[in-house]
Amino acid sequence: MTCGGADAILVLTLALRSIVSAIGGLPEKLMAAERAGVKQVFIPAENVEDLVDVADEVKEALEIIPVEKVEDVLKAVGIK
């Protein structure tokens, strides 16, 4: 991934054991990602329930992938 031209981004907080923790402000972060042209967003699985607060047009424009561990992200991008 590169800054300013990423097709995928991570919107998450990591704990010591590579466990992904919930975040705040998910709707705003996803809206910003969509405006920036991002196609794929990894979010904490704990935040899936917050997707009800995200505008439908934003959800339709993004591939939103819930993850629980860093390994989930690595597998999804073909690294592990």
Instruction: Read off the CATH number of the domain in which 36 is found.
Output: 3.30.230.10
DSSP single-letter state for residue 25: -
In this structure, is residue 40 part of a structural domain? Answer: yes
In this structure, is residue 57 part of a structural domain? Answer: yes
The verdict on pTM exceeding 0.85 is no
Kindly state the percentage of the chain with pLDDT values over 70: 80
If one compares 29 and 6, the residue with the highest pLDDT of the two is 29
Ramachandran angles phi, psi of 42, nearest 5°: -95, 125
Domain span holding position 43: 8-76
Q: Write out pLDDT tens, residues 44-66.
A: 999 999 999 999 999 999 999 99
In this structure, is residue 2 part of a structural domain? Answer: no
Cα 52–55–60 angle (5° rounding)? 100
In this structure, is residue 3 part of a structural domain? Answer: no
Q: Write out pLDDT tens, residues 17-28.
A: 778 889 999 999
C-alpha to C-alpha distance for 43 and 26, rounded to whole angstroms: 8
Note whether 35 and 29 are within 8 A (CB): no
Q: Give 12's pLDDT tier (boundaries 50, 70, 90).
A: low
Residues in the chain: 80
Counted domains in the chain: 1
